[in-house]
């Protein structure tokens, strides 16, 4: 199932924040993405309704297995694409920005080839 780019970004952000701090709140997501708290609240309601996250009593947000799978896949694409771009001489800042856009539209065939290329050149 293909989900919207914005939802992939939210899930990836939750995944990265959880790895860094062990917990995630709406305010953490708002701060990380520079979005308003109401925007984050609306997105979290949608992600919860679609089964990608669970919200605990204290306001902590956790990825479900379904959400974690999407987040990890998006994060992996981001890492591989940015790494390859830097390998080609693109600055780190530009590579990270470009990878954030490309990670949502790249085909599985192209991504698999990029991963193989990266594995062979490391």
Do 11 and 47 lie in one domain? The reply is yes
Q: Which domain holds residue 43?
A: 5-69
Q: What's the CATH number where 96 sits?
A: 1.10.60.10
Do 79 and 92 lie in one domain? The reply is yes
- Give the global pTM: 0.87
3-state SS of 22-63 is: CCCCHHHHHHHHCCCHHHHHHHHHHHHHCCCEEECCCCCEEE
In a structure prediction context, what are the per-residue pLDDT tens digits for the chain, which is 122 residues long? Answer: 457 888 999 999 999 999 999 889 999 999 999 999 999 999 999 999 999 999 987 889 999 999 999 999 999 999 999 999 999 999 999 999 999 999 999 999 999 999 999 888 87
Nearest-5° angle of CA 66, CA 51, CA 8? 60
């Amino acid at each position: 199932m293909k989900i919207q780019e914005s939802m992939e970004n939210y899930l990836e952000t939750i995944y990265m924040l959880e790895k860094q701090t062990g917990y995630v709140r709406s305010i953490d997501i708002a701060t990380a993405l520079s979005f308003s708290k109401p925007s984050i609240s609306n997105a979290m309601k949608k992600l919860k309704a679609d089964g990608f996250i669970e919200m605990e009593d204290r306001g902590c947000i956790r990825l479900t297995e379904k959400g974690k799978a999407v987040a990890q896949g998006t994060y992996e694409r981001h890492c591989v694409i940015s790494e390859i771009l830097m390998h080609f001489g693109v600055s780190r800042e530009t590579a990270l920005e470009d990878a954030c856009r490309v990670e949502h539209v790249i085909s599985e065939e192209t991504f698999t080839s990029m991963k193989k290329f990266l594995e062979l050149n490391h």
